[in-house]
Homo-oligomer: A and B are copies of this chain.
């Protein structure tokens, strides 16, 4: 059987938020990875187990995992399980560029909606960057 650790990460759903269940799962996994609560090699709950825990249909879990797999954040192995992938080293450059453009576009839209210019956003990012000594 699998020798890799199962994470202790716990999911939580808000059924009254209006946010689709599969999206809540996606966001929680992304957040956990970004916050190092989930790390490369960690096994996620199985499709069925998470479906039981959250009292939802297995296909809803599948949908969430599939989107994360498409993003390269995790790998699924039929018959074995679903695991956090070894980062983005294997992802093609064009897909990577596409994702960066998406992030930038969303950031611009959000800043614009709040009445900020791209210039202001860039300046803020730059000062934040210096603050982190990156």
Q: Mark A78-112, 1 if CB is under 8 A from B, else 0.
A: 00000000011001000010011101111111111
Cβ distance A69 to chain B, nearest Cβ, rounded Å: 11
With contacts A30-B113, A112-B31, A113-B34 known, is A128 near B118, CB below 8 A? Answer: yes
Residues of the B chain whose Cβ atoms lie less than 8 Å from the Cβ of A109: 27, 30-31, 34
Task: Report whether over half of chain A's contact residues are helix, strand or loop; otherwise say mixed.
Answer: helix
A117 within 8 A of B: yes
Q: Which residue of B lies closest to A126 (CB)?
A: B122
B-side contacts of A3, CB under 8 Å: none
State how many angstroms separate the Cβ of A12 from the closest Cβ of chain B: 15
A31–B107 CA distance with the chains assembled, in angstroms: 10
